[in-house]
Amino acid sequence: MALNGVYWAIKDSFKWLNKSDLDLAQRNWAHLLDRLEGKGLGKLMIMLDRSPTTDSHIKGQPWDPTPVRKLVHEPVIYLAKSSMPLFELSRIFLQKLSKRGMNQIRYPVYTEMSSDQLQSLANFPLRVLIKLEDLVSVLDRVDTSYGVATIHNIEKIANTIKPIFKSAWAVAFHHIVPSIPDTNNSPTQNYWKNWLLMWSTQFDLAISKFIHAAKVFENTPV
């Protein structure tokens, strides 16, 4: 059994020797994308579900056994809806930059990215996921103890998500996109640069609107 394990470990090592820097950095992205779909966006969608039920607590899901409680206060519901673009744009960015999203483009084995940049890119989805899960938890606490959570909690999360994305965006724009082979079978580098610029504009707008909604919520009478 031990020899068999060593054999598969060596085989796996050889498989990854032929992968690009980007392949290695994105090795765990698929799993984290699934988690974002569930514990992040999926949980928020359940919290916002307006269909009538006999209980405000929905049974746990495969991605999270903890029961999910529907939001009941309208100002909190409005605030949660205002956060939806952040979740959607986060998912779109991760999907687009994943190997699946980039249509299996074959990159050079080595890029100009430093080891720190590669490590940051590898950790990027988890850092985003943690912040979005924190945001879901804050929204639940705001609704449970209505008026207790402050604007500071919400603004802090929103403002910490932004630099995480901006760092990954810069790596994508300055290192990943320039390494895309210019062939007839894949989108051009200009396409990807334009897409990243458009996404960045939408993301900045989503952050601003969400923070504005949080300020409105703070001034809403309990």
pLDDT tens digits, 173-212: 988 888 777 666 656 788 889 999 999 999 999 999 999 9
pTM of the predicted model, to two decimals? 0.76
Average pLDDT (1-21) is 49
pLDDT at 10: 45
User: Which among 170, 160, 157, 156 is positioned nearest to 199, based on CA atoms?
Assistant: 170
Top-confidence residue, 88 or 216: 88
- Domains in the chain, start-ordered, CATH in brackets? 20-218 (1.20.1410.10)
Position 18 confidence tier, pLDDT thresholds 50, 70, 90: low
Task: Compute the CA torsion angle 161, 210, 75, 60 (nearest 10 deg).
Answer: -40
Average pLDDT (3-20) is 48
Say whether pLDDT at 142 is over 70. Answer: yes
Q: Which H helix or E strand runs over 71?
A: none
Start-to-end C-alpha separation, the chain: 64
Contact criterion met (CB below 8 Å) for 39 and 129: yes
188 sits in the region (left: phi over 0; alpha: psi -120 to 50; else beta) called beta
Position 85 confidence tier, pLDDT thresholds 50, 70, 90: very high
Q: Which of 55-69, 110-124, 187-201 has the lowest mean pLDDT?
A: 55-69
pLDDT at 196: 94
Contact criterion met (CB below 8 Å) for 122 and 26: yes
Residue 185, both tokens: 């079978």
- The rounded Cα 165 to chain-centroid distance in angstroms is 9
Helix residue spans in the chain (DSSP H): 2-17, 21-25, 29-35, 43-48, 74-97, 115-144, 151-171, 189-218
**Dihedral angle sign, alpha carbons of residues 144, 130, 90, 67:** negative
